[in-house]
């Protein structure tokens, strides 16, 4: 009946409730970043649910080749997020695991349809704030210069390129200076950092050098793996660069933490 | 999860052990960084329009995927049409067989000197050394290959074999090895010196050996691209031409070549087209003034048909050897090609070498990656390299008693499996699938994790270059509960 009418393209409806998947790294090492992510969503007017049964996306096992173990842990997340509402993740890497790899991980498994539906509900935090919620931010902080580090998986699995920078550019007193090697990997790569310690060190020290070149005292990222690596290296070599998760930074400037 | 060198004392030094040599060589680091930055910029300039890039690579990937889907049939058609064109076709299952075939052809023709165009398959065969052992001298005519042959080295890159050397190093080498050649920093003078030597070799060679970029089944044509004219000379001047290539280089139609060429040259060197595009369709015909009187093609398997058996891993065979993956690889850029200790370095090597040589010999290669996806982003035929790296990591630790539905297709599958590592992941699975247990463990870490000694296995390697990660007194689970985010039921 409606075959002749062109399909109408509408912006995704703004949901009133979302799930938050904190990630295991944030849970133990960067809980304040996760909390800031949930607070940002709450300030944007959505109800946030943090399911207590969540643990890890399963990426560490998958990347090491332990597929059964990865699938078992992934299945636990399918169980922990049963409602048909968006799942927001403060990490491009964990989001990438769930969005781009879950369907394949469950190939030949009776849970594959569930994994595919789950994957479709996954959003990276900054992309969700910009593309789905269309947030406007008001900067209440003092002038500061920052530089941005995108994680490889946020860039190349989630396709999140401009969103976090768009958020930062909304802040009147924040100057964003891009670093020359922005798109290059920081050398974390999970177990790569210890299995290939020498190569990883060369990569992170080059990354820090390109950050230092910008003159910005603060490096922001949307992934705590990268932050642990770059920030840990900065600390080790006595470099004063502050490495922070973007959610924490935004909360602090716009809503006083 | 021990470091790579840890549990394989019987092996040649593994990637992690070889890397420091390159990393601690500032000249080498500078050479690679500068060269890769240049190649990346040149490639990017060739694909300013993302829509054009997306469309072209979709076509390229489809062409290669179609050719692979019909591989056995296309190889037969290739042989039929080449034979009809007067080209003699030989099949080699192993590199030893391929060497024997080439040697046999040369000996039968009484050839003593060979001039060579660039060919990675001949590197795979270690052909030069084999011929040398039988009294035949093979001289490389590609400038980069010529340089590393003079230096007694192997290629460090599949398109730019001597990219690890800078001008000064080449100048020193020429002064040392070429009679009457003074040291000079003038690139033109250096090129002229090589040309002087090579011209003479071209004129006197009994045979030419080359690689192949695409073998067209429909017409029986061998396509060979190059920039120096040395490929054309090697394949036309001597009376005998032997081409060597892998079985995966076959494409179906002549019309399949243009999109692949457009992708290959742009991705490799940032050129819209190479200076020479050679289409070889047979030996000299009656009445023709030039060209070899005999042309042979050696088609090498050397493990490729085994790769072909697995529907996922078979994507590896789409590769057109453009090297874009290594040019964009943050690991390759830092360690250079020789660290891989393999014919094919970089991302393509990390997936190809373990499949051709087995996981016992090369199971460490798939781990020399952060899975950053830079390679997959630029691969012109859309090979999902990071997914295949993970697949090979999987094959390396797959239990040996697998069900019949999962036959270990990769040589030495399970070679890296250790009970210790399996136990770690079994424990991980236990904790991360049981919410209550998980919360107990994370609370315990919040309380005592910061007291893990810096000498603990993983911590030791981590803290060599980084401060230790700090567990927070309260987990996100705790904070979420306090802030009222926990377990509300969706409306
Ligand atoms: S894997 Fe892709 S990018 Fe790498 S050499 Fe082959 S075709 Fe080029």
pLDDT the model gives residue B4: 40
Tokens 């996954």 correspond to: A122
**Is the Cβ–Cβ distance between B264 and B225 less than 8 Å?**
yes
pLDDT the model gives residue A3: 45
Out of B19, B465, B490, closest to residue A233 by CB: B465
Q: What is the length of chain A?
A: 257
Domain count, chain B: 3
Q: Tell me the CA distances in angstroms from A208 to A33, A240, A244, one per residue in order.
A: 21, 11, 14
**Is the Cβ–Cβ distance between B219 and B255 less than 8 Å?**
no
End-to-end Cα separation, chain B, in angstroms: 44
**Together in a domain, B229 and B366:** no
* Domain boundary, last residue among B302, B326, B355: B302
CATH no. for A135-255: 3.40.50.11810
Residues 6+ positions from A139 with CB-CB distance below 8 Å: A170, A171, A172, A173, A174, A253, A254
* Domain boundary, last residue among B302, B329, B350: B302
Q: Is B322 in the pocket of ligand 1 (CB under 6 A)?
A: yes
Report A:9-48 residues touching B (Cβ under 8 A).
16-17, 20, 22, 24, 26-32, 34-35, 38-39, 47-48
- Chain B: nearest CA to A174, how far in angstroms? 28
Partners of residue A243 on adjacent β-strands: A219
Phi first, then psi, for residue A146 (nearest 5°) are -130, 160
B468 C-beta neighbours (distance < 10 Å), count = 17
* Domain boundary, last residue among B302, B317, B333: B302
**Together in a domain, B102 and B155:** yes
pLDDT in tens, A107-148: 999 999 999 999 999 999 999 999 999 999 999 999 999 999
- CA–CA dist B320, B318 (Å, integer): 6
Among protein residues, the one with the nearest Cα to ligand 1's atom 7 is B319
B316 Cα to the center of ligand 1, angstroms: 9
**Together in a domain, B279 and B346:** no
- CA–CA dist B110, A148 (Å, integer): 65
Q: Is B263 in the pocket of ligand 1 (CB under 6 A)?
A: no
Contacts of A157 in chain B (CB under 8 A): 373
**Residue A256 region, left (φ>0) first, then alpha (ψ -120 to 50), else beta?**
left
pTM: 0.95
pLDDT the model gives residue A8: 58
Q: Is B68 in the pocket of ligand 1 (CB under 6 A)?
A: no
Phi first, then psi, for residue B88 (nearest 5°) are -90, 125
Token digits for B176?
A: 């040392």
| HEC letters along chain B | CCCCCCCCCCCCCCHHHHHHHHHCCHHHHHHHHHHHHHHHHHHHHHCCCHHHHHHHHHHHHHHHHHHHHCHHHHHHHHHHHHHHCCEEEEEECCHHHHHHHHHHHHHHCCCCEEEECCCHHHHHHCHHHHHHHCCCEEEECCHHHHHHHHHCCCCCCCCCCCCCCCHHHHHHHHHHHCCCCCCCCCHHHHHHHHHHHHHHHHHHCCEEEECCCEEECCCCEEEEEECCCHHHHHHHCCCEEEEEEEHHHEECCHHHHHHHHHHHHHHHHCCCCCCEEEEECCCCCCCCCCCCCEEEEEEECCCHHHHHCCCCHHHHHHCCCCCHHHHCCHHHHHHCCHHHCCCCCHHHHHHHHHHHHCHHHHCCHHHCCCCCCHHHHHCCCCCCHHHHHHHHHHHHHCCCCCCHHHCCCCCCCCCCCCHHHHHHHHHHHHHHCCHHHHHHHHHHHHHHHHHCCCCCHHHHHHHCCCCCCCCCCCCHHHHHHHCCCECCCCC
B290 C-beta neighbours (distance < 10 Å), count = 7
pLDDT the model gives residue B408: 62
Nearest chain A residue (CA) to B5: A195
Q: Tell me the CA distances in angstroms from B51 to A235, B56, B270, B272, one per residue in order.
A: 43, 9, 18, 17
Q: Is B348 in the pocket of ligand 1 (CB under 6 A)?
A: yes
Each of the 257 residues of chain A gets a pLDDT tens digit; together they read: 344 555 555 556 789 999 999 999 999 999 999 999 999 999 999 999 999 999 999 999 999 999 999 999 999 999 999 999 999 999 999 999 999 999 999 999 999 999 999 999 999 999 999 999 999 999 999 999 999 999 999 999 999 999 999 999 999 999 999 999 999 999 999 999 999 999 999 999 999 999 999 999 999 999 999 999 999 999 999 999 999 999 999 999 999 87
Q: Is B221 exposed, middle or buried (0-12, 13-18, 19+ CB in 10 A)?
A: buried
- CA–CA dist B470, B462 (Å, integer): 13
Residues 6+ positions from B280 with CB-CB distance below 8 Å: B221, B222, B223, B224, B235, B241, B243, B295
**Is the Cβ–Cβ distance between A135 and A48 less than 8 Å?**
no
- CA–CA dist B254, B261 (Å, integer): 11
Which stretches of chain B score pLDDT less than 50? Answer: 1-9, 491
Q: Tell me the CA distances in angstroms from A117 to A22, A82, A85, B142, B341, one per residue in order.
A: 19, 10, 11, 53, 44
* In chain A, where the domains are located: 17-130, 135-255
CA B460 to chain CA centroid, nearest Å: 33
Q: Is B324 in the pocket of ligand 1 (CB under 6 A)?
A: yes
Q: Is A110 exposed, middle or buried (0-12, 13-18, 19+ CB in 10 A)?
A: exposed
pLDDT the model gives residue B43: 98
Q: Among B77, B98, B99, which Cα is nearest to B253's? A: B77
Partners of residue B310 on adjacent β-strands: none
- Chain A: nearest CA to B213, how far in angstroms? 29
- CA–CA dist B177, A76 (Å, integer): 66
**Residue B393's domain spans which residues?**
15-38+306-406
Residue of A79, A186, A194 to mutate for B, most B C-beta atoms under 10 A: A194
Contacts of B438 in chain A (CB under 8 A): 55
CA B428 to chain CA centroid, nearest Å: 35
pLDDT in tens, B218-272: 999 999 999 999 999 999 999 999 999 999 999 999 999 999 999 999 999 999 9
Tokens 């076959």 correspond to: B250
pLDDT in tens, A6-19: 555 555 678 999 99
| Cβ contacts from A onto B, under 8 A | 225
Contacts of B482 in chain A (CB under 8 A): none
Query: A188 touching B, CB under 8 A?
Result: yes
Report B:14-73 residues touching A (Cβ under 8 A).
15-16, 19-20, 23, 29
User: Do the chains contact at A38 and B331, CB–CB below 8 Å?
Assistant: no
Out of B425, B458, B475, closest to residue A61 by CB: B425
Torsion of CA A69, A70, A72, A75, to 10 degrees: 180
User: Do the chains contact at A31 and B475, CB–CB below 8 Å?
Assistant: yes
Among protein residues, the one with the nearest Cα to ligand 1's atom 4 is B325
Pairing of β A17-20 and β A218-221: unpaired
- Chain B: nearest CA to A238, how far in angstroms? 10
User: Do the chains contact at A194 and B370, CB–CB below 8 Å?
Assistant: no
Contacts of A77 in chain B (CB under 8 A): none
Out of B4, B394, B464, closest to residue A65 by CB: B394
Among protein residues, the one with the nearest Cα to ligand 1's atom 6 is B319
**Together in a domain, B54 and B131:** yes
pLDDT the model gives residue B400: 67
Pairing of β B221-226 and β B276-280: antiparallel
- Chain B: nearest CA to A6, how far in angstroms? 23
**Together in a domain, B160 and B63:** yes
The angle formed by the CA atoms of residues B128, B164 and B17, to the nearest 5 degrees, is 90
Residue B170 lies in a domain: yes
Residue B342 lies in a domain: yes
- Chain A: nearest CA to B326, how far in angstroms? 13
């Amino acid at each position: 009946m409606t075959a002749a009418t062109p399909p109408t393209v509408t912006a995704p409806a703004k949901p009133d409730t979302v799930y938050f998947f904190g990630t295991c790294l944030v849970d133990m090492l960067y809980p304040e970043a996760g909390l800031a992510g949930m607070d940002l969503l709450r300030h944007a007017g959505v109800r946030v649910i943090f399911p207590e049964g969540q643990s890890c996306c399963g990426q560490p096992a998958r990347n090491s080749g332990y597929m059964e173990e990865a699938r078992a842990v992934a299945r636990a997340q399918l169980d922990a997020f049963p409602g048909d509402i968006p799942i927001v993740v403060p990490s491009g890497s964990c989001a990438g695991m769930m969005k781009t790899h879950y369907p394949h991980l469950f190939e030949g498994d009776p849970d594959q349809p569930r994994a595919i539906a789950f994957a479709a509900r996954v959003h990276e935090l900054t992309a969700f704030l910009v593309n789905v919620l269309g947030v406007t931010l008001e900067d209440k902080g003092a002038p500061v210069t920052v530089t941005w580090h995108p994680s490889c998986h946020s860039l190349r699995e989630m396709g999140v390129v401009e969103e976090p920078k768009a958020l930062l550019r909304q802040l009147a007193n924040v100057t964003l200076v891009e670093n020359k090697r922005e798109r290059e990997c920081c050398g974390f790569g999970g177990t790569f950092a210890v299995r290939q310690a020498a190569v990883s060190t060369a990569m992170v020290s080059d990354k820090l050098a390109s950050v230092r070149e910008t003159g910005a005292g603060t490096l922001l990222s949307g992934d705590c793996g990268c932050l642990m690596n770059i920030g840990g290296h900065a600390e080790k070599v006595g470099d004063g660069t502050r490495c922070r998760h973007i959610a924490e930074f935004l909360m602090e400037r716009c809503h006083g933490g | 999860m021990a470091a790579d060198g840890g549990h394989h004392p019987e092996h040649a030094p593994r990637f992690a052990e070889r890397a420091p040599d390159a990393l601690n060589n500032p000249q080498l680091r500078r050479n690679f960084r500068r060269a890769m930055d240049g190649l990346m910029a040149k490639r990017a300039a060739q694909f300013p329009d993302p829509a054009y890039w997306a469309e072209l690579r979709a076509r390229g990937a489809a062409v290669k995927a179609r050719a692979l889907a019909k591989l056995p049939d296309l190889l037969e058609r290739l042989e039929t049409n080449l034979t009809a064109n007067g080209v003699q076709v030989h099949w080699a299952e192993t590199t030893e067989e391929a060497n024997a075939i080439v040697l046999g052809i040369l000996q039968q023709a009484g050839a003593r000197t060979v001039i060579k165009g660039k060919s990675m398959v001949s590197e795979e065969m270690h052909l030069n050394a084999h011929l040398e052992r039988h009294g035949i001298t093979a001289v490389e005519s590609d400038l980069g290959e010529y340089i590393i042959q003079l230096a007694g080295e192997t290629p460090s890159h599949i398109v730019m074999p001597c990219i690890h050397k800078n001008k000064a190093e080449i100048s020193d080498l020429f002064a040392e090895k070429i009679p009457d050649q003074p040291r000079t920093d003038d690139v033109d003078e250096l090129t002229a010196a090589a040309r002087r030597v090579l011209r003479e070799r071209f004129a006197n060679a009994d045979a030419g050996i080359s690689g192949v970029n695409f073998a067209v089944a429909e017409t029986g044509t061998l396509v060979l691209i190059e920039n120096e004219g040395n490929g054309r000379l090697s394949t036309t001047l001597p009376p005998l031409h032997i081409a060597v290539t892998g079985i995966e280089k076959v494409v179906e139609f002549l019309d399949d070549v243009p999109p692949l060429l457009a992708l290959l040259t742009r991705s490799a060197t940032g050129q819209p087209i190479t200076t020479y595009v050679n289409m070889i369709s047979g030996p000299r015909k009656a009445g023709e003034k030039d060209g070899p009187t005999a042309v042979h093609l050696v088609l090498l398997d050397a493990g490729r048909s085994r790769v072909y058996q697995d529907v996922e891993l078979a994507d590896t065979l789409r590769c057109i050897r453009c090297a874009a993956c290594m040019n964009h690889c943050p690991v390759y850029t830092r360690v250079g090609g020789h660290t891989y200790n393999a014919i094919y370095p970089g991302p393509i090597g990390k997936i190809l070498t373990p499949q051709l040589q087995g996981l016992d010999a090369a199971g460490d290669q798939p781990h020399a990656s952060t899975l950053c996806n830079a390679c997959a982003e630029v691969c012109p035929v859309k090979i999902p390299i990071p997914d295949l790296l993970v697949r090979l990591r999987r094959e390396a630790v797959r239990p040996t008693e697998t069900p019949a539905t999962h036959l270990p297709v990769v040589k030495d599958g399970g070679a890296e499996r250790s009970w210790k590592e399996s136990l770690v992941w079994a424990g991980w699975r236990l904790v991360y699938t049981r919410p209550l247990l998980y919360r107990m463990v994370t609370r315990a870490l919040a309380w005592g994790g910061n007291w893990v000694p810096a000498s603990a296995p993983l911590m030791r390697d981590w803290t060599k270059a980084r401060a230790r990660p700090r567990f927070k007194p309260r987990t996100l689970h705790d904070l979420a509960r306090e802030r009222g985010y926990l377990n509300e039921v969706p409306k």
